[in-house]
């Protein structure tokens, strides 16, 4: 029985993870559920799955949650500090970090220091502070198992292979709802259009990132740290059908691809069950429904965020931290219809120009860079 702490239990990844736990009650147990402010769903999850602990980040809702489940033997904690404490508890075997954005960084660090298995669905952790996470992993017995479908695909393709045999990693991308559109079209798109992803059902922030190709840029940086692969050996390929989740090309010219229907349940289950594979009767891939798989190069002139991410990775330091913070503020502003879709890239580039570059940041530098970038980006919007 693997006892799992879910950081972000009410989000898209978290709810699907709980469905897997429900599907395999003899293998997995929800030990800790953590959510920000969606307390109605958190309470419902707590009653159904009976975890040992739940954490509500929004401290103003602590008393309401505590009273709502007072007849159940469930401990209730609140606040960000509590997250970093509970993920290190001895009763936890796997920490699923399924929050969106910078908030996953500190709990992941604490989980690494506590030698936990980390099922990582929060790509921003490695984007913002990949060098720091990499150094901490070297001094820990902790391991990271990727949950992003692309990185899970690469991880699966590399099982049993030698590092020196790898020629390149190929991350696939659907292209989002605006594939093939020109800049003039993108200037007038609405949040509703951007949220209409053709293949995947995800949270709002991730869906907007997919539409702007920032999501793929974040994944390039994540792949760099996860697989210790030089940036020039990490490619992106548009694959609209989202059947091939990513590929690995080897030096002998052969290519391995991991394929499946577009669902996050497969990579979540793989991370939970690794190194095993348990049978599931969910939908399987039918090649008769996908008889025309296509591929094309990404348009980095129109979708500049992908090129920005590559540039930040090459530059290093706190560049990716600046990029990530500016993007989070810009995406939120776009969703609130305060800026245009095309302004997202403009704001990120402006932040990278104006915020101080630090070549070798420590944890405090990352925290300060994130905070300053958010403040400055909000000022740019005003």
Q: What CATH code would you report for 2-146? A: 3.40.50.720
Helix (H, G, I), strand (E, B) or coil at 246: strand
Task: Give the model's pLDDT for residue 182.
Answer: 94
Q: What are the residue ranges of CATH 3.40.50.720 in the chain?
A: 2-146
State the Cα–Cα distance between residues 52 and 143, nearest whole angstrom.
24
Can you spell out the DSSP letters for 195-240?
Answer: T--SS----HHHHHHHHHTHHHHHHHHHHHHHHT--GGGEEEEE-T
CA dihedral angle for residue 190, residue 298, residue 310, residue 153, rounded to 10 degrees = 100
Report the pLDDT value the prediction gives residue 3, as an integer from 0 to 100.
Answer: 98
**Distance of alpha carbon 19 from the chain centroid:** 19
Contacts 24+ apart (CB under 8 A), 347-352: 347/377, 347/380, 347/381, 348/305, 348/308, 348/323, 349/304, 349/308, 350/326, 350/377, 350/380, 351/322, 351/323, 351/325, 351/326, 351/376, 351/377, 351/380, 352/308, 352/312, 352/319, 352/322, 352/323, 352/326
Question: How far is residue 128's CA from residue 366's CA, in Å, rounded to a whole number?
Answer: 7
pTM: 0.92
pLDDT in tens, the chain (382 residues): 999 999 999 999 999 999 999 999 999 999 999 999 899 999 999 999 999 999 999 999 999 999 999 999 999 999 999 999 999 999 999 999 998 777 788 999 999 999 999 999 988 889 999 999 999 999 999 999 999 999 999 999 999 999 999 999 999 999 989 999 999 999 999 999 999 887 777 789 989 999 999 999 999 999 999 999 999 999 999 999 999 999 999 999 999 999 998 899 999 999 999 999 999 988 788 888 888 899 999 999 999 999 999 999 999 999 999 999 999 999 999 999 999 999 999 999 999 999 999 999 999 999 999 999 999 999 999 8
Characterize the bridge pairing of strands 244-250 and 166-173: antiparallel
CA–CA separation, 325 and 248 (whole Å): 30
Find the angle CA(165)-CA(169)-CA(171) to the nearest 5 degrees.
160
What is the DSSP-derived secondary structure letter of residue 296?
B
pLDDT, residue 60, reads 95
DSSP H or E segment with residue 172: strand 166-173
Cα distances (Å, whole numbers) of residue 84 to 55, 112, 228: 11, 11, 27
Pairing of strands 28-35, 53-56: parallel
CA distances from 293 to 189, 238, 285 (A): 27, 11, 13
- Residue in 169, 171, 208 with CA at minimum distance from that of residue 295: 171
Tokens of 38: 């969606």
């Amino acid at each position: 029985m693997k006892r799992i702490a879910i950081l972000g239990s009410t989000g898209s990844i978290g709810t699907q993870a709980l469905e897997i736990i429900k599907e395999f009650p003899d293998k997995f147990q929800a030990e800790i559920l953590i959510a920000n402010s969606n307390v109605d769903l958190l309470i419902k999850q707590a009653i159904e799955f009976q975890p040992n602990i739940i954490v509500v980040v929004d401290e103003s809702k602590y008393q309401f949650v505590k009273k709502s489940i007072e007849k159940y033997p469930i401990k209730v904690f609140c606040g960000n500090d509590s997250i970093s404490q509970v993920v290190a508890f001895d009763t936890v075997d796997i920490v699923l970090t399924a929050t969106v954005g910078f908030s996953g960084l500190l709990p992941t660090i604490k989980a690494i220091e506590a030698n936990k298995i980390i099922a990582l669905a929060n790509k921003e952790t490695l984007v913002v502070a990949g060098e720091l996470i990499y150094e901490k992993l070297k001094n820990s017995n902790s391991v990271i198992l990727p949950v992003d479908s692309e990185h899970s695909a690469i991880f699966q393709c590399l099982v049993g292979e030698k590092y020196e045999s790898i020629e390149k990693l190929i991350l696939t991308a659907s292209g989002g709802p605006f594939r093939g559109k020109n800049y003039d079209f993108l200037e007038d798109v609405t949040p509703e259009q951007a949220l209409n992803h053709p293949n995947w059902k995800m949270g709002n922030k991730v869906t907007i990132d997919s539409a702007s190709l920032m999501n793929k840029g974040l994944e390039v940086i994540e792949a760099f740290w996860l697989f210790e692969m030089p940036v020039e050996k990490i490619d992106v390929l548009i694959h609209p059908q989202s059947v091939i989740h990513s590929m690995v090309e080897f030096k002998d010219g052969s290519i391995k691809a991991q394929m499946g229907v577009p669902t996050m349940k497969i990579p979540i289950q793989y991370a939970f069950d690794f190194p095993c594979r348990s049978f599931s009767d969910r939908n399987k891939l039918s090649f008769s429904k996908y008889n025309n798989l296509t591929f094309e190069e990404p348009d980095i002139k129109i979708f500049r965020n992908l090129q920005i991410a590559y540039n930040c990775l090459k530059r290093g330091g706190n560049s990716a931290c600046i990029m990530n913070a500016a993007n989070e503020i810009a995406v939120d502003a776009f969703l609130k219809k305060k800026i245009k879709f095309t302004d997202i890239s403009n704001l990120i580039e402006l932040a990278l120009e104006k915020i101080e570059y630090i070549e070798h940041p420590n944890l405090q530098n990352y925290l300060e860079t994130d905070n300053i970038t958010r403040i400055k980006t909000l000022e740019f919007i005003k």
